[in-house]
Amino acid sequence: MPIQSLYVHVPFCAQKCAYCAFFSEASSGELINRYTDALVREMELVADDLKPRTIFFGGGTPSILNLAQWEKILRAMERLNLLGAEEFTVECNPATVSLDKAKLFRAYGINRVSMGVQSLDEALLDRLGRIHSREMVFKSFDILRRAGFDNLNIDLMFAIPGQTMDIWRATLKEVITLGSEHLSSYEVIYEEDTPLYQQLQAKEFDVDEDLACEMYEALVEHATADGFHQYEIANFARSKPETRNSKPEIPASACKHNVNYWRGGSFYGLGPSATGYVRGVRTTNWSNTQLYCEQLEKGKRAIESREELQPLARAGETAAFGLRMVAGWPFEDFKRTTGHDLRKDWAQEMKQLTERGWGRIAPEGFQLTRQGLRFADSAAEMFLR
Ligand SMILES: C[S@@+](CC[C@H](N)C(=O)[O-])C[C@H]1O[C@@H](n2cnc3c(N)ncnc32)[C@H](O)[C@@H]1O
Ligand code: SF4
């Protein structure tokens, strides 16, 4: 059966944000054109094994590509029978949204936009090196609605140096009032080799763990009070989850592409630095746009590394990913996906987590509690083999 999920990495940004370690660079027009052609070539190489139900263009800043470049990519996808996905998301920076681009997106079946907002406080946006103002967020949101998008996500960040609880609450309130169908909110990670990390090393500010915890609590509290349903540590969907056997399912407006990823599903990853996971084999493309283009110009995939995990190790990773979701792992779903039984191979870990108050075992599955979700990374690590 062909693979049903496609991730495309667009490695360009207008300028690098102070905290960001994703592979992207300030763009030059010529290199973007060359990348566009290389990406089409890469799509041609995998198209026969791909019938996407979900597509996600991330980055970097996919919306930085101009109309002609987008048209080239989308036409190629049409020719290769890659359009028609149930969910087709493009990540956008509020400074690079236009009505023409939004209309072009709609015309080719892009039905979800994820907008990187991070904060609505001008001083913090500046501090983070964002290229957009708060006004641009409202304007772009409006443009996307006018173009007909009815499935929008907003990305926020909290525990930003200089962000007080009042500023955070104000941003949350304004963002929730905007009425997006989805909200993702991440605590700042100090990634090595970023300006923010260097400032931390130079002791220009302190990290306040307690405040970060309170901000996470405020996020969950405000979002759920205003009609969002949390379905993953950092992700909230507006639609109410259906209930099956008295347990909530994943909400309909959850990001289907990421749910497939957390549930250990296969996906192709195209573009520089992209990771793919196809039938148990993980591949990672070169994190070098020139090299990526050179390889594809020679007609070869631009894969830097390939890794095939042993079945038990693979199942352990899949368990760890799936526990990020509030619904946790239904035992039967896990068995179907991995061929392993959580009740057999991870009985000890589930017992320990339950005793610590971080986990909950039910006859049909295992999930982390609200407290456990706060420490999901440590909990998930216990499942790795
Ligand atoms: C790959 S970025 C792409 C979004 C888009 N380029 C933008 O920034 O407008 C996806 C999201 O990851 C989050 N993110 C990136 N770096 C982060 C970091 N160091 N700590 C926490 N969140 C981060 C941001 O919320 C960002 O919107
Ligand atoms: S956060 Fe988004 S816009 Fe900023 S550098 Fe990273 S990918 Fe680019």
**Nearest ligand to the C-alpha of residue 129?**
2
Residue 332 CA to residue 91 CA, distance in Å, equals: 34
Give, for all 385 residues of the chain, the pLDDT tens digit: 999 999 999 999 999 999 999 999 997 789 999 999 999 999 999 999 999 999 999 999 999 999 999 999 999 999 999 999 999 999 999 999 999 999 999 999 999 999 999 999 999 999 999 999 999 999 999 999 999 999 999 999 999 999 999 999 999 999 999 999 999 999 999 999 999 999 999 999 999 999 999 999 999 999 999 999 999 999 999 987 777 666 667 898 999 999 999 999 999 999 999 999 999 999 999 999 999 999 999 999 999 999 998 999 999 999 999 999 999 999 999 999 999 999 999 999 999 999 999 999 999 999 999 889 988 999 999 999 8
User: Which position has the token pair 């239904």?
Assistant: 330
For position 247, what pLDDT does the model report? 63
Structure tokens at 183: 């909200």
For position 253, what pLDDT does the model report? 92
The ligand 2 atom at the shortest distance from the C-alpha of residue 130 is 4
Taking CA atoms only, the protein residue closest to ligand 2 atom 7 is: 60
pTM for the full predicted model: 0.96
CA of 335 to the centre of ligand 2 (A): 37
Residue 376 CA to residue 70 CA, distance in Å, equals: 38
Residue 173 CA to residue 346 CA, distance in Å, equals: 41
Write out the H or E segment, with its range, that includes residue 134.
helix 134-146
**Closest Cα partner for 218 from 180, 185, 255, 179?**
185
CA of 233 to the centre of ligand 2 (A): 21
Q: Is 75 helix (H, G, I), strand (E, B) or coil?
A: helix
Taking CA atoms only, the protein residue closest to ligand 2 atom 2 is: 60
For position 27, what pLDDT does the model report? 78
User: Which position has the token pair 């960040």?
Assistant: 157
Residues with CB under 6 A from ligand 2: 13, 16-17, 20, 22, 24, 59-61, 93, 116
- Taking every pair of Cα atoms in the chain, the longest distance, rounded to a whole number of angstroms, is 58
For position 239, what pLDDT does the model report? 80
Residue 58 CA to residue 7 CA, distance in Å, equals: 7
For position 240, what pLDDT does the model report? 76
Query: How many degrees, rounded to 5, is the angle at CA 344 between CA 339 and CA 349?
Result: 115
Is the CB of 191 inside a 6 Å radius of any atom of ligand 1? yes
**Nearest ligand to the C-alpha of residue 7?**
1
49 beta partners:
none
For position 272, what pLDDT does the model report? 98
For position 245, what pLDDT does the model report? 65
